[in-house]
Each structure stands twice: as structure tokens, then as C-alpha cells.
Structure 1
Amino acid sequence: MKIGVIGGSGLYNIEGLTNVEEISLETPFGRPSDNYIHGKLAGKDVYFLPRHGRGHVYLPSEVPYRANIYGFKMLGVDCIISVSAVGSMKEEIRPGDFVIVTQYFDRTKNRPSTFFGNGIVAHVAFDKPTCELLNEIIYNACKEEGIPVHREGTYICIEGPQFSTKAESKIYRSWGVDVIGMTNIPEAKLAREAEIPYSAVALATDYDVWKEGEEVSVEKVLATMAKNIENAKKMLKRVIETLKPEDLENSPARTALVGAIQTKPEYITDEIRKRLELIIKDRV
């Protein structure tokens, strides 16, 4: 089994990997954020990618999301587990808590969010944007490790890199979202188009700026993040040890493109077929 992991702010490696090697890829959408770190854990192949690059060199808007996900497709991963730092939009989601993301609200503005276009059209279902089967395994792993976790939550993704104004934060909160971040979109959309089951674990570091007396500061965020990263490593290790190929056999993500491509086959050029070969080869 091949498992992809995308690390967010502060998570730059997975402990316990053996036979570690780096894999450099060039995709039709450019180079990914960094080399993929490949290793073995519990007899499974794990491919880790730091979303912002080692040294944290990419802004949220600069992350080469399409290259990152296409690279995982090239590697043949069976699923992707995404980890990212977020702000909490609800009192009951405390700094240090994990949230299994089950819904998104997209407020980004400047990011390519699809592999399609430029001569080929596809519309994938995205009503349930993360893999429910993988979500449940991650939730159970958190409970077993004693990590405070919420089974579901809505993630609002903003462009950044600035944090929200108080007015924005209060409006987002009034919409009923649970956490706020800058990186899960378009990552989740692209994983769905690539037919890779995708789950996102949001690591709350603060209460954003809606809560008086709890304003965001780099110092507070870093202190909570250090604890979050240690828990994330425990969670990932347990998930990787637990996960079996048959667990994801019935994930709807695996057939997301069935019937989704609207362009007639005779209008799909050789250039398009080459560019999207790994994604569309069995669907047109």
C-alpha cells in the first residue's frame, strides 16, 4: 500500500520511516513544492511532501498545488492525508484540538483549482470533499492516541497570507464554519479530480481574531504548534500502521471522473492526452 502525506506548517518529516530516499519529480504542471520523502513504515510505502517546501519558502498562494497532487498520482498513492495548521472559529474547538475536515468554504481568489481547461472540460462531484472512510480511521487513531479531536468540521479557506481582520473573522464565524486556514483549497479539489481519496486534519493553533483577549500572535501559534506537531506524528504513525488497502476500496473518490468529462473524445487532442495522461487515461 502507498500512502501520501502532505505536511503543513511545522510538520516537515515523519518519524519512524526506514529506507528513506528522496524522489525528485517533474510534472506537466511544473515541479512540486519539494522532493518527496519516500520510506517504509509498518511495511507500507509512505511518500511525504512538505507543502510549503523545506525551509517554508512558499506562501499559501504560491504552493504548486497541481504539481503536488499530480506528483502523488505519478507515485501511485492509494490515498493522501493532509495536515495543516488552522485557527479555531468556535469556543469548543480549543487550541491544540484536531478537527477532521468534512466540508469546505472556498474564499480563495488567485489559484488554479483544476487540472482541466485549455481544451477539456470536467465537472466532478464535490458535495463530500473528503473521504469518509479515511476520516473515520484518522478519527479513531486520534482517540486511541488520546488526542483531542472533533469528528467533523467546516474549513473556510482564505487567500492570505495576511490573517483576517476582526470584521472578516466575525462574519466567517457567523456563517457557522469551524476552522480557518489558507491551504486546503485547491488541494482537496485536485485530489478529487485525480481520483485519490483525500482526508484533511486541521490542527487548531489559536482562536483567530474573533475572540477578545485571544488575538493571533506568532508566539502563541508557535507554542501550540509544537504540541500539535508531536500529536500529528503520533496520529500519522497509528493511521499508517492501521490502514489496509481494503479500507478504501469503496471510496467514491476512486470513481470521481466517471461521467464527469464532458468533452467528446474526438475533440481531446494528443497534447491534452499527454498532459493529463495519468488522470484521464481510463476515463475517455
Structure 2
Amino acid sequence: MEYQGNILKMRSELADTVQYYFRIGDQEVPMNELIGMQIRMQFDGQINCISCGKRTKTSFSQGFCYSCLQTAPEASETVMRPELSKSHLGIARDMEWAKEHDLIDHIVYLAVSSELKVGVTRHHQVPTRWIDQGASFAIRVAQTPNRHIAGVMEVFLKKYFTDKTNWRDMLKNNVAEHFNLPEEKEKLLSLLPSELRQYRSANNDVVSLNYPVLEYPMKLNSLSFDKQSVIEGELKGIKGQYLILDQDRVLNIRKHNGYFLRLTTHS
């Protein structure tokens, strides 16, 4: 089979084993079906901005041209630093966009991959955000009415928890399994001032995430289409937004948002 088009990060669905769909042009390739097969991806140099669609020589911040990096609401610094959101004050790059993305309920969560981390995501991005990070377990801690409050809570908690995922350990499946997430949630909540503790989530379910991987890499060789135009080999698995190939090679799909690829598969 052959597919071609500009790519976006893989869509995922929570199931007994996470299901992945590679978005190439107007098609979605069911990637779980390709695990154990040979795949070939070819990049001919075309990159299109994922916001305005125009061709760009360089992709900024996972898919934007330079102009959109400066102006597009989805490229705002508040995406990475939610505490900086001022949408609740009527200040944003695009208030209509902010009403749908910032001025909605947000989830503050604890997730376990290589270690315990705290994070923030829009309520409708659960469990997608956890899957994209390659988390093995996650629990909701709080639900806030906007992005700013969730960001303030995250900043406060970063004094006690990391907010980063060690992608190398995550891909090696070095999972810190000794954490009791309901207990950690209570510890976390006890650290919060009362004005933030009021947003605690009543949902104490621990979500377990299992990824479609035949073999995890022992060492990591990170691949990029900026360095080679053709990447091919046996697909060993998928975790987070990474394709795991034979010979301990890994490819971050999200990093290449907007790249025009040709994907061919064969057994």
C-alpha cells in the first residue's frame, strides 16, 4: 500500500491496547496493523504550515511557519505555559479561539512514565494527552474552569513534581511502577492552598495505558527527515508519538507535523 500527503501527529484511541492512526493527507492509516511489517517513508523536501498551509523552508514549534508562530493562537506561548493565559481577562491572540480552547474546563493530572509528573490538558484531551506523552498510568487531580487556573496550579506543584517526560526512558519502557496514584493525588492536594484545592476532581480512577510494542529499544537512535530523506525498516511498535523501528531507531512523528511524506508498506 502507498499513502502520501502532509502528516499530522497520530490520532489515538484508548483500548486494551492503544490504537494509532497516522494522518497522511486526507487519509488515516491504521498503524497497529503495520506492526511487524516493513515500512518506508520518503520526504522530498516539502513542508507546509499546519496553520495557514503555505509552504515553508523551516518548521517551527512542531509545524508552523515563522509568521504563524508569531500570530496563530494555537502557537501562543500559553500552549506551553498555561499560567500565562489571560483569556479570562479578555486578552488573547484570538478571543474566539480562546473561548473554545482556554475558557473551558482543564484537567490537572498526575501521570507515570519513567517517573511521576504533573501536567495540564483541556478536558476533552483526556486520555489523548496521556497517550501522546507515553504515560503508563494517569489520574485526574483537579478540574478548573479555565486554562489560567490550571496553569497556576501546575506552577505551584512543579516545586514538588516534575512537569517533564524523559522521552528516552519512556521509549525504553523504564516505567516507575511503585507509585500509588490515589495516595499521590491526596499528597498533592494537601500541598495546595485552599483557593486551589477547591478544584479537586472527584474522579479517582487510575487509567492504565498499554502500547502496541513488540520490542522496546535498548539504545536509542533518534531519526529525523531533516537529516535523511528516506527512513525504512520493520515497525516494532508505537509509544507516545514515536514510531519504534528495528535497530533501536525511533522517529518522533509530531516533530514532523506538516511534512509531505510518501508511506509505503509491505510484509
Give the TM-score normalised by structure 2. 0.22
Give the TM-score normalised by structure 1. 0.21
Higher RCO, 1 vs 2 (CA within 8 Å, ≥6 residues apart): 2
Asked which structure has the greater CA Rg, the reply is: 2
